[in-house]
Amino acid sequence: MSSTRVIAVSTLAAALVAGCGSGTTAVQCEETPNCNLHPGGVCETNPATGNQWCTYPDATCPSGQRWSDFDTGDGLSGECVVSSVGRDGGVVDGSMPVDAREDAAPADAMPDYVQWDLIYPSKIRVPLNQQDWIAGDGDHMIVNTGTLDLDMASLTPGTSTDTATYSVFSMVVVDPPPTAKVPPGYAFGMLSTAAQGMVTEPILQERQILRFRGELLPADGSPHTIQVTHRIELGNANGAARVIAPQTWEIMDVPSPQIVEWARVSSDVIVVP
């Protein structure tokens, strides 16, 4: 496997930071439970400094995450998370401002890199007291936005986490698993008609690739919302880039499970020298 270097890292993160008002020193988070200002918080490391701060889900950011604007240091307060994963010594979590990333690696000097987008259901509505496993097929598309082929055989759903204590969520590869090589600029997967406008790239192959599942065991019959986060990796022999996919489950008075929104999020960047 070729060695890689880090441009920037994007993981889902959020931080509980202390203090308020001008002149107050920013306080780092130590672990994910510290990040509780909003749902979906995870403590994240900035590779530029080694400091740990918080981000929260924000659909207006290309990565889907934004650094907390509450006493976050390193000049990241309120900035969108820009990310990349290095594989020399493992995964490095964190980020640096966009201008710092561009200074470090100008676009005209960019070497080959691994990167991809995921289009997926970002909001699902589920009937009250739904207790069966429910699944979503044919609603995921991968788009190769890097300069190297993607090996679909390397597709690996990672940990799924949620804000509820009674639910179990997961993301799995549909059987049989895909084995295609996706060239740069091509898409691979299958989307519902309502989401097909989110893909302008040519589709190499249209087939199911991922399935999300949720086993809901509501404590009562009242409407509520669960925030879920999926982590998925895909790449090639040079390394695997990771996508963080926030998902909202609305438990409410509807007759059957239904997807109401889709999102397109970008992976980290693996740069190949």
Which sign does the torsion angle of CA 134, 138, 143, 148 carry? positive
Nearest in space to 11 (alpha carbons), one of 43, 36, 39, 37 = 43
Q: Which of 53, 51, 49 is nearest to 41 (CA)?
A: 53
Most confident of 80-89, 99-108, 146-155: 146-155
Backbone angles phi, psi at 66, to 5 degrees: -135, 140
Which DSSP symbol is given to 101?
Answer: H
Pairing label, strands 210-215, 168-173: antiparallel
Q: Span 183-193, mean pLDDT?
A: 94
* One domain for residues 191 and 95: no
Query: pLDDT tens, 3-47?
Result: 333 333 333 333 333 333 444 568 788 877 777 777 776 777 777
Q: Which of 84, 109, 134 is the endpoint of a domain?
A: 109
**How many Å is the Cα radius of gyration of the chain?**
19
User: What pLDDT score does 108 carry?
Assistant: 55
Peptide bond into 176 cis (omega under 30): yes
Are 37 and 129 in a shared domain?
no
76 and 197 share one domain: no
235 with 164, same domain: the answer is yes
Statement to judge: residues 27 and 135 lie in one domain: no
Cα 76 to Cα 167: distance, rounded to the nearest angstrom: 33
Look at the block and give the residue holding tokens 């509780």. Answer: 36
Residue of 210, 85, 234 lying closest to 149 (CA atoms): 234
Distances (CA, A) of 54 to 21, 114, 139, 225: 18, 26, 30, 22
What was the pLDDT predicted at 25? 67
Q: What is the mean pLDDT of residues 94-98?
A: 40
Across the range 179-184, mean pLDDT stands at 96
For residue 109, the model assigns a pLDDT of 57
Q: Which of 78, 109, 140 is the last residue before a domain boundary?
A: 109
Give the whole-angstrom CA distance, residue 247 versus residue 177: 23
**C-alpha neighbours within 13 Å on the C-beta side of residue 97:** 11
In angstroms, the CA 168 to CA 8 distance is: 31
CB 142 within 8 A of CB 189: yes
Query: What does the pLDDT read at residue 150?
Result: 97
Co-location of 61 and 120 in the same domain: no
pLDDT tens sequence across 46-73: 777 878 888 777 777 777 777 788 778 8
Residue 83: band (very low, low, confident or very high) from pLDDT cuts 50, 70, 90: low
Rounded average pLDDT over 150-162: 89
Domain co-membership, 141 together with 237: yes
For residue 230, give the H/E element and its range: strand 224-236
CB 265 within 8 A of CB 178: no
pTM above 0.75, yes or no: no
Do 266 and 135 lie in one domain? The reply is yes
Whether residue 241 contacts residue 270, with contact meaning beta carbons closer than 8 Å, is answered with yes
Q: How many domains does the chain have?
A: 2
- Tell whether 22 and 79 lie within a shared domain: yes
Among candidate residues 75, 109, 143, the one where a domain is terminated: 109
Amino acid (1-letter code) at residue 41: G
Structure tokens at 103: 């200074």
pLDDT at 7 (0 to 100): 33
pLDDT at site 169 = 82
- 14 and 100 together in one domain: yes
pLDDT for 99-146, tens place per residue? Answer: 444 444 444 556 899 999 999 999 998 888 777 666 666 689 999 999
Instruction: Verify that 105 and 125 share a domain, yes or no.
Output: no
Q: Which helix (H) or strand (E) holds 266?
A: strand 258-266
Domain of 204, in residue numbers: 112-272
Residues 235 and 201 in one domain: yes
Distance CA 183, CA 237 (A): 14
Query: 152 pLDDT exceeds 90?
Result: yes
pLDDT at 8: 32
Half-sphere exposure of 164 (CA within 13 A, CB side): 21
C-alpha span between 56 and 69 (Å, rounded) = 10
Read off the pLDDT of residues 216-253 as tens digits, 9 standing for 90 and up.
766 567 888 889 899 999 999 999 999 999 999 898 88
